[in-house]
Structure 1
């Protein structure tokens, strides 16, 4: 979830909570490497892929060299050991070293909606305020329709 419209939709559909992880990666307070943050800000909604399905541990990451190699290994039926060897230290490389090519750059599809680094308080305030506004607007539309 990256904005109030999505939050309002999730709650309207019966959710009792939402996940906003990728938004928080693009916050001033998040201690990840600046390269990781910039990769998220540059990403489009089609720039993520799910790896790990073959081993029952799906993870959504940005498409990069490591992701392409991982998917090729999965496609040919690689063993768990082969897959783990490729990804060993990948998250550390991305988060701490800023290696966005061979590191594991975890990100949701909402990365395509993020265009700037913002304070966490502002991210949550916008989610809350725009979510409430969208909920009120939807309620008004429904009562006008009656």
Structure 2
């Protein structure tokens, strides 16, 4: 039924639908549900400690015997060294909101990602079938090690130049991340502003430039988007925001409701939550940080120093300070179990393609 089968043949899946890893939102239950439905479930493991990561992989395997992916961030994004005086201005600002929410003192920034090498070795030892990476490729030697165990490598690109560089490094599948996508921009080779290219423009350019399967990501929420992705030259799609209203994920209820009530103009690319550009639903924190951008810490220190505030806001059922990553298609989100959502998209894909047949 699929116009192109190179991706599903390579990944050994039934349907060319990849659930985006979504670190912090994905769960073993979500991953397994998507994989059991014939798509590719993905777990976002960048902020998961190595020992816990092993447990999660085994949980996923207890729930499904189908292929799945685990995503890590490129190792270069982990490290930061800040003297106390460097984070004092942001800490002082956050104290105002901490006091308002009775959230206690502002925490020190601590490492919250990685360590990459330990995480990566867990994935190798567990022989996961598919590795995916964001913010650039892993080291060349790591790609060789992945291929040595017979596994596949997926990496995000936001420009044609990035896609070509990834293929040269040995990457098997390119995730072409359009401007519309929720969460962090995967740009790694150019300033992020240079990678703000729409999905409909980016996918055909990358598809023409590389010989490996290309996956369209960004703004794809239903069968119409999947049909369009194939027409643009993609061999499949990656969808994140579409799965945010599913009960199997791990987001706070206030975040889920914000997604379901989102309008097309409600998201914005911002650095205020993490120190890196990412698309999120506008809220009070984004608005009030507009005049304090000079205080934003580098990634991931900014994400670390705000962790207590985000948690307190979610616990109080307030969207004000929660980082609610979402793409521009959030208004199309459907509150369905993941397996039911995929089945619905497949049926609608058949109906849409049938409606486009020349009479």
Q: TM-score range by the shorter chain?
A: 0.7 to 0.9
Shift of 1:23: 1.4
Partner of 1:28: 247
Partner of 2:345: 127
Q: Which runs of 5+ in 1 are unaligned?
A: none
Q: Does the CA contact (< 8 Å) of 1:50 and 1:59 recur in 2?
A: yes
Paired residue secondary structure (1:101): coil
Aligned partners of 1:33 and 1:95 also within 8 Å: no
Which stretch of structure 1 is more off in the superposition, 40-49 or 84-93?
A: 84-93
C-alpha change, 1:81 and 1:41, in structure 2 (3 Å) is same
CA distance in 2, matches of 1:90, 1:51: 19
CA contact (8 A) 1:8 1:131 kept: yes
Q: Residues 38 and 94 (structure 1 numbering): CA distance in 2 closer, same or farther, change over 3 Å? A: farther
Q: How does 1:52-131 map to 2 (within 5 A)?
A: 52=271, 57-74=276-293, 78=294, 80-81=296-297, 84=302, 88-89=306-307, 93=311, 97=315, 98-114=317-333, 116-131=334-349
- Higher-RCO chain (CA-CA 8 Å, sequence separation at least 6): 1
Aligned 8 A contact 1:22 1:111 in 2: yes
RMSD between superposed Cα atoms in Å: 3.1
Q: Which has the higher strand share?
A: 2
* Moved >6 Å (runs of 4+): none
- Mark the CA change 1:15 to 1:72 in structure 2 (over 3 Å): closer, same or farther: farther
Distance 1:126 1:34, change over 3 A: same
Using structure 2 for the length normalisation, give the TM-score: 0.34
Q: 3-state SS of the aligned residue for 1:18?
A: strand
Q: Which residue of 1 aligns with 2:110?
A: none
Per-residue CA distance 1:71-104 (angstroms, 9 max, x = gap): 4434xxx154288279721795289635411111
| Worse-matched range after superposition: 88-97 or 29-38 | 88-97
CA change 1:38–1:56 in 2 (3 A) is closer
SS at match of 2:297: helix
Counterpart of 1:45 in structure 2 is 264
Asked if the contact 2:223/2:348 (under 8 Å) is kept, the reply is: yes
TM-score normalised according to structure 1 size: 0.76
- Number of the residue aligned with 2:231: 12
| Equivalent-residue separation in structure 2 for 1:123 and 1:51 (angstroms) | 29
Describe the superposition over 1:1-34 as per-residue Cα deviations: whole angstroms up to 9, x where unpaired.
1110111101111112222111111002112221
Kindly indicate whether the alpha-carbon contact (under 8 Å) linking 2:246 and 2:337 is maintained by their aligned counterparts in 1.
yes
Larger gyration radius, structure 1 or structure 2: 2
**How far apart are the structure 2 equivalents of 1:94 and 1:14?**
44
Whether the aligned pair in 2 keeps the contact of 1:93 and 1:104 (CA below 8 Å) is: no
Deviation at 1:56, TM superposition (A): 8.4
3-state DSSP of counterpart to 2:355: helix
**CA–CA distance in structure 2, aligned partners of residues 49 and 27 of structure 1:** 22
